[in-house]
Amino acid sequence: MLHLVWMFLTGFVIGLLARALMPGADHMGIFATALLGIAGSLVGGFVVRLVHRPDPGSAFHPAGFVGSIVGALILLYLAHLGG
């Protein structure tokens, strides 16, 4: 259960950062922002793991955090294109 709360909070922060970096108005609520961050983490984390593997046993991968923000930015950009 705690894992889901942590995933939601991290996704919300990543979604907020992506919305702050992307110009334009975004009319999203708290849940849409969190879902944007979670989806961005999945996309960006996957791409970063293909390029640079984390050290075995490491709890935090800084490149994964940056990749999550980039992934959320890409998804937000695609959402702006669609409507």
Interval 12-49: pLDDT, tens: 999 999 999 988 877 888 999 899 999 998 888 888 88
Residue with tokens 């950062």, as numbered in its chain: 17
What pTM, to 2 d.p., does this model score? 0.82
The overall average pLDDT reported for the chain is 85
Taking residues 46-57, report their average pLDDT.
80
Taking residues 51-57, report their average pLDDT.
77
Residue 83: per-residue pLDDT: 65
Q: Is the dihedral of CA 50, 58, 9, 5 positive or negative?
A: positive
